[in-house]
Amino acid sequence: MPECQTNEIGTLIGNIQEIVQRLHPGCDDELESLLTWLNPNEPNSNHHMRPPPLRLKDTIKLLVNQYYNGQYNPKSECEISKGLDFDLTNLLRQFYVHQVRYHFFTSFDSIQSFKDIQRLERYYDFPLKYIYLFQSNPDEWIMERDSLRHYLLNRNVKFKENLKQRLAVLIMEDDYEVIGEVLDWVNKACCNVSSTELLMDLIFLKITKYCESHLNGAFGERFLVMKTYNKFITKYWVHFTRLLCCHADDHELTNVIYSVFEKQFLRIRTKQAFQIFVTHYPSSEPTILEMRKLLTNSKQLRKIVVLFLLEFEARILNPSVTTVDALLAYVKCVKAFLALDPSGKYLHSISSFVRSRFQERSDLVTVLLYAIMDLGFSELLEGPHAQVNAASLEALAEEFKKSELAIDYDLSFASGNRNAVADNVSDEGSLPYEEVMEQFLSWTPDSSIILPHSPGKRLSSHGLLDILLELFESKDFFISEFLKLQTKRLLSLKYYRLDKNWSNCLQILKKKLSNGTSATSIGITPSGNPSENARTEDYSNINYIDVMLWDVKCSLEVCQQMHQVSGLDPRIYPKFISYLYWNYHWDTGHSFELPQGLEQELEKYCKVYSEMRPGRALKLCRDRGVVELELAFQDGRRKCLDVTLEQYAVIQQFDADQKSPKHTAEDISARLKMEPSKAKSVLRFWVEKGILLLENGYYVIQESKQGGESETPHNVASGSGSLSSLAERPDSTRDQENQVSNILKNVWPFIQGMLMNLGSLKVEKIHSFLKATAPKELGYSAITQSHLDFYLSLLVEEERLECTSNGSYKLRS
């Protein structure tokens, strides 16, 4: 005990002893017992929260309580003696207050929770039940106790934080009775902590938790804020009004509560931005419209965009997501953000962020065009880079059919039959997606959606297609790729029939580009690429499309005339093209000999054509022909396939009438005068189709499905093999193929270094070097020369290696 405190207490005790000695001589021991029993700082000898013994009760009655007869009677206050008896009671009261204060401040740091202070207060109040020290002025003790509370709340930070946490737990448990007790205690402390503020914080916390449990995932409900608010008020408002001591119809307070619900709705929906704008769109449209109504400043929108882009980048803009899935997610994002922000200002920020990532995808144009024209999934797989999910492609095409293609949502599209064909490519037709191209090429903005203060920042167009075209370096590039794809499609066309989606889109494109000043200025060079002065040139190059269509139409007419000539095989449908206008380049890599029978038939057609068109000569485009095959096997199986001329030429070498029933890749290359790498690639195609088998270096016809499996893996590298053939293989075979594929990918750096140092090597040399130098942990000992040969052929197709004329491999320069 500090010295000053000791002196003060000593003086009080001396004065008390002096008065007792004068009033009641010989009671020194009884007085000492009373002081010890009262003192909270005597933990071993004080009251211990137990009633005083009989002797001590007599002492209390003798010294203090005899004037109150065990009860407090306010009328007798003025009659109480103001002499020594009064002085004794006053000194005992001062003694007790000093001891309580000393004990409180000694225990101050140990008071951490509300239960601690409750325990102390009971400890201090207990003796006063038996000794009436404050009976004449009970407010004095109440003020003393409240002052200690005041000091505790203002100075003990840990206690205050724990008190708030305790209240938070109580509000979650709906224990409003205990909350009322705590708030009443705080009120009596009269400190800088307001019980009303504490209660409002608790209400806000309750609303936060309530919203998280009731708003999470409910994206399809309308007026969700109002519904949630009404449920909350119905369930809890009666308790809160009692604690706040206010009327139930206090509109000022309820408006504040409702605004908290709105803020919580925006907070939760901001965290769920990706789910709202991509995963659950368009079923989340009610949520988007409610968000738009509640957004009051640009800061809130910026936060939504930032959090959305963080998740969009992690979940969509990564190589594991296919282009069609990424584009589908972006289309949903575009529509959703246009609904949230009709000005398009923040959608422009999103487009700028994702543009570079989408431009890295080589199949972006192809996927977008096929989705716009809603072409078949099988047609998309003709492309070299396209690996998509059919359902995702169909969903993406459906997005272009919906009416939300513009900001005003006024466009509508009729559902068309994508398998419809045109007997004549020049026939007029009505394309279901004509409005898409119309809007893209001739859209003009609505003045009602132009931002009055920042016109330069809005999107140049709010059409869906226009926004998607922002992903490309220029619209010229998109149109160029469209023309390339259209040319390729016309070159691979069978029976002169073109899907109306292709035909009419092309006609619309030509019409709009040739529509003078009202058209988008796009110039196309003869090679199909955008010209450097595309914006200032005329559109004469687009007329090459007319030449292409005219060639196809004339081919149909000429073919019909040729089929009237006796001696010509009517199963052949030639297409005669003006190759300078078709952007066609003769591919010397497709130089090979056709089977003699087919070669003779084609020569007959050339001779008849020369007679019909004197002065003109024909040259076969060997890389563009399509052959319909029906293959019959000894086990009764029949397979119908559409193959290229080179694939037909190779499989024809295994015809039953041929002398040798089996061939090596070198045999095929020599017979057809075909490059070895190309021969291997074609043979691998037939192996993957289940037509050929590779046994001990020889390819043979798989006459029966019960035949053995090929020793060559069908899917050594990603991207090879068909889905159907993979599905038919046993799990053990697939596991083995995956193991082989992983080993070969791991030894690729060794192959690369080998060819970099030694130039070109044949497969035998590469195999022997790898067996000698590859680390054992790579497991190369399990790889055969056939495995390696197959893998090297794939690397040639991927343009990482080149195959020389003598069958050696070297790095591509």
Give one DSSP letter per residue of 608-640, joined into a string.
HHHHHSTT------TTT-EEEEEEE-TTS-EEE
Which pTM was predicted? 0.61
712-813: which CATH architecture? Orthogonal Bundle (1.10)
CA 595, distance to chain mean position in Å, is 53
> Treating both helix axes as pointing N-terminal to C-terminal, what angle do 251-271 and 285-294 enclose, rounded to 10 degrees?
130
Of residues 801 and 438, the one with the higher pLDDT is 801
Question: Quick one: tokens of 224?
Answer: 């969700």
For 700, list phi and psi in degrees, rounded to 5: -135, 160
d(CA 399, CA 324): 12
pLDDT at residue 322, as a whole number = 86
Segment 61-68 mean pLDDT: 75
Q: Contact 542/510 with Cβ under 8 angstroms?
A: yes
Residues 6+ away with beta carbon under 8 Å from 531: 523, 524, 525, 537, 541
Question: Quick one: tokens of 612?
Answer: 């019909």
pLDDT band at 106 (very low <50, low <70, confident <90, very high): very high
8: buried, middle or exposed (CB in 10 Å: 19+, 13-18, 0-12)? middle
d(CA 784, CA 786): 5
The SS3 assignment for 511 reads: helix
pLDDT at 19 over 60: yes
Segment 120-129 mean pLDDT: 92
Kindly report, residue by residue over 509-566, the tens digit of the pLDDT.
Answer: 555 454 443 333 333 333 334 334 334 334 445 566 777 778 888 888 888 888 888 8
High-pLDDT (> 90) share of the chain, %: 22
Residue 659's CB is within 10 A of a number of other CB atoms, namely: 4
Segment 651-658 mean pLDDT: 76
pLDDT band at 508 (very low <50, low <70, confident <90, very high): low
Of residues 105 and 411, the one with the higher pLDDT is 105
Kindly report, residue by residue over 289-344, the tens digit of the pLDDT.
Answer: 999 999 988 899 999 999 999 999 999 988 888 888 899 999 999 999 989 988 88
Q: Contact 545/539 with Cβ under 8 angstroms?
A: no
504 closest CA partner among 418, 385, 628: 418
Segment 632-641 mean pLDDT: 84
pLDDT at residue 452, as a whole number = 40
Question: Quick one: tokens of 411?
Answer: 């466009």
pLDDT band at 458 (very low <50, low <70, confident <90, very high): very low
pLDDT at residue 734, as a whole number = 53
pLDDT at 45 over 80: yes
pLDDT at residue 507, as a whole number = 61
pLDDT at residue 587, as a whole number = 60
R_g (Cα) of the chain, nearest Å: 46
The DSSP secondary structure of 13-77, one letter per residue, reads HHHHHHHHHHHSTT-HHHHHHHHHHH-TT-TTTS-TTSPPPHHHHHHHHHHTGGGTTTS--GGGG
d(CA 213, CA 206): 11
For residue 190, CA distances in Å to 117, 143, 166, 434, 510 come to: 16, 11, 20, 75, 83
Kindly report, residue by residue over 226-255, the tens digit of the pLDDT.
Answer: 999 999 999 999 988 888 888 888 888 999
pLDDT band at 112 (very low <50, low <70, confident <90, very high): very high
pLDDT at residue 340, as a whole number = 92
pLDDT at 726 over 60: no
Kindly report, residue by residue over 166-216, the tens digit of the pLDDT.
Answer: 999 999 999 999 999 999 999 888 887 788 888 899 999 999 999 999 988
Lowest mean pLDDT among 71-80, 435-444, 704-713: 71-80
pLDDT at 397 over 70: yes
pLDDT at residue 377, as a whole number = 53
Q: Contact 34/45 with Cβ under 8 angstroms?
A: no
Question: Quick one: tokens of 342?
Answer: 């009709």
User: Residue 106 carries which side chain, given as an amino acid letter?
Assistant: T
Q: Contact 371/396 with Cβ under 8 angstroms?
A: yes
d(CA 523, CA 513): 8
